[in-house]
Structure 1
Amino acid sequence: MADRFEDLRILVAVVSAGGFAAGANRLGVAKSAVSRRIRELEDRLGVRLFDRTTRRVQLTDAGRDFHGRAVAILLSLEEAEEEASNASRALKGQIRIAAPVSFTAHCLAPAVGRFLELHPAVSLSIDTDDRMVDLIRDGFDLAIRIADLPDSSLVARRLVTIRHACVASPALLQRLGTPRTPMDLSNFPGVVYSNREEASYWRFADDLVPNVASRLAFGNGDAVREAAIAGLGIAMLPTFIVHDAVRRGALSIVLAKHMRPPIAMYALHPSMRNQTARAREFIDFLVGEFGGEPVWDRGLFSGGTAD
Structure 2
Amino acid sequence: MSNLPDLEGLAIFAKVVEMRSIAAAASELGLSAPTVSKALSRLEKRLGARLFNRTSRRLALTEAGRQLAGRAQRLVTDAEAAESDLLAQSATPRGLVRLAAPMSFGLREVAPILPEFLALHQEVSVDLHLSDALVDLIGEGFDAALRLGFLPDSSLIARRLCAAPRYTVAAPAYLKRHGRPSHPAELENHVCFGYAYLANPDIWHFSNAAGDEVTVRPKGQLRANNGDALMPALLAGLGVADLPEFIVKDALQDGCLERVLYDWLTPQGSLYLVTPPGGPRPARVGALADFLSQRLARDRKGSPPKESE
Would the TM-score normalized by the shorter structure come out above 0.5? yes
In 2: Cα distance, 1:218 partner to 1:248 partner:
24
In 1: Cα distance, 2:126 partner to 2:253 partner:
32
Q: 2:147 aligns with which of 140, 145, 148?
A: 145
In 1: Cα distance, 2:109 partner to 2:201 partner:
26
Aligned equivalent of 1:243? 249
In 2: Cα distance, 1:279 partner to 1:237 partner:
29
Q: How much is the aligned-residue C-alpha RMSD, in angstroms?
A: 2.2
Q: How far does the alpha carbon of each residue in 1:102-156 deviate from its partner, in whole angstroms, 9 at most, with x for none?
A: 1111111111111100111211111111121110001000010012222211111
1:100 to 2:93 alignment: no
Q: 2:89 aligns with which of 71, 86, 99?
A: 86
- Structure 1 residues 255 and 278, CA, compared in 2 at 3 Å: closer, same or farther? same
Alpha-carbon distance, 1:84 to partner: 3.8
Q: 1:234 aligns with which of 227, 233, 240?
A: 240
Secondary structure of residue in 1 paired with 2:139 = helix
1:168 to 2:185 alignment: no
In 2: Cα distance, 1:248 partner to 1:84 partner:
51
Q: Which amino acid aligns with 1:269?
A: T
Identity of aligned residues (%): 36
1:216 to 2:222 alignment: yes
Q: 1:199 aligns with which of 197, 202, 206?
A: 202
Paired residues of 1:199 and 1:209 also in contact (CA < 8 A): no
- Structure 1 residues 272 and 194, CA, compared in 2 at 3 Å: closer, same or farther? same
Paired residues of 2:190 and 2:219 also in contact (CA < 8 A): yes
Secondary structure of residue in 1 paired with 2:97 = strand
- Which runs of no fewer than 5 residues in structure 1 stay unpaired? 1-78
Secondary structure of residue in 2 paired with 1:215 = coil
Paired residues of 2:169 and 2:259 also in contact (CA < 8 A): yes
Aligned equivalent of 1:183? 185
Secondary structure of residue in 2 paired with 1:258 = coil
Q: Which amino acid aligns with 1:290?
A: L
1:257 to 2:253 alignment: no
- Structure 1 residues 272 and 118, CA, compared in 2 at 3 Å: closer, same or farther? farther
Alpha-carbon distance, 1:278 to partner: 0.4
Paired residues of 1:98 and 1:143 also in contact (CA < 8 A): yes
- TM-score, normalised to structure 2, is 0.67
- Which runs of no fewer than 5 residues in structure 2 stay unpaired? 1-81
Pairs aligned (count): 223
Between stretches 273-282 and 141-150, larger displacement belongs to 273-282
- Structure 1 residues 172 and 136, CA, compared in 2 at 3 Å: closer, same or farther? same
Aligned equivalent of 1:7? none
Secondary structure of residue in 2 paired with 1:209 = strand
In 2: Cα distance, 1:265 partner to 1:156 partner:
10
In 2: Cα distance, 1:283 partner to 1:185 partner:
39
How do 1:1-307 and structure 2 match up within 5 A? 83-86=86-89, 90-196=92-198, 197-200=200-203, 202-205=204-207, 206-271=212-277, 273=279, 275-291=281-297, 294-295=300-301, 298-302=302-306, 305-306=307-308
- TM-score, normalised to structure 1, is 0.67
In 1: Cα distance, 2:110 partner to 2:194 partner:
24
Q: How far does the alpha carbon of each residue in 1:174-218 deviate from its partner, in whole angstroms, 9 at most, with x for none?
A: 000000000111111111112333234x22114422232221011
Paired residues of 2:193 and 2:218 also in contact (CA < 8 A): no
Q: Which one has the largest radius of gyration?
A: 2
In 2: Cα distance, 1:274 partner to 1:299 partner:
37
Q: Which amino acid aligns with 1:166?
A: T
